[in-house]
Amino acid sequence: MKIRLDSARFEPFVWQETVAIRAAQPAFEDGVGFSPIELHGTLEPVSPNFRLTARLSYRQTVPCARCLAPVEGEVESGFELLIVRARSERQGRPERPRKAERNAADGGERQLTEEDFGVLEVVDGTLDTAPVVEEQVQLNLPAYPLCREDCAGLCPRCGKNWNAGPCDCPAPAADPRWGGLAELRSKLTGSRAGE
């Protein structure tokens, strides 16, 4: 949806929409899919900028990192962004909000300020929500999804799913990198035996 910033100039603009994400694009790997994304958003004036607050809810399917079986899950997430007009379109002195520096020395709680939000520049005074939603959905993807905690994965040789039982492949040969160590050990035990 495209929203004119002016519609939130004097009071918050609240809306609801459904965004369809096309998973068939380079940003997403094979086997990734999404239900339509339900978005509840509020755009409010934070002069001279705007604050976008939104909640997303949808279902996602991602391949198990070990066996590639589809892993389905419900996602509920929220985000906030500071919306600023493109530099060239701003009137008066351009004043881009600086990201607050985060460091451990901060300690304790700090008040949440505009500097804590991500910043999105928009052109033509219009916020297009589709790319924003798409980015959030990408950020929400699990780094290492598993169909179950103890997923046994696939045999690297024959590709059989070990969750369905062992395959007939021979046990992997001993790692040759340990060969030297074994030799050393036999030498050591050998020399000790000779004493």
Comparing C-alpha atoms, which of 126, 165, 148, 147 is closest to residue 2?
126
Least distance in Å: CB of 29 to Zn ion? 15
Calpha distance 155→67 (Å, rounded): 9
- Residue in the block written with tokens 């035996």: 193
Residue whose CB is less far from Zn ion, 7 or 61: 61
Residue whose CB is less far from Zn ion, 94 or 159: 159
CA 171, chain centre distance (Å):
37
> H or E stretch including 130?
helix 129-139
Comparing C-alpha atoms, which of 54, 55, 49 is closest to residue 119?
49
Footprint on this chain of Zn ion (rule: CB under 5 A): 64, 66-67, 69, 147, 151, 155, 157-158, 160, 167, 169
Least distance in Å: CB of 149 to Zn ion? 10
> Is 67 strand, coil or helix?
coil
Cα angle, residue 90 at apex, residues 87 and 96 outer, rounded to 5°: 55
Least distance in Å: CB of 100 to Zn ion? 40
> Is 132 strand, coil or helix?
helix
Least distance in Å: CB of 171 to Zn ion? 10
Least distance in Å: CB of 140 to Zn ion? 20
Residue whose CB is less far from Zn ion, 112 or 169: 169
| Whether the bond into 48 is cis, omega within 30 of 0 | yes
Residue whose CB is less far from Zn ion, 7 or 163: 163
Residue whose CB is less far from Zn ion, 158 or 193: 158
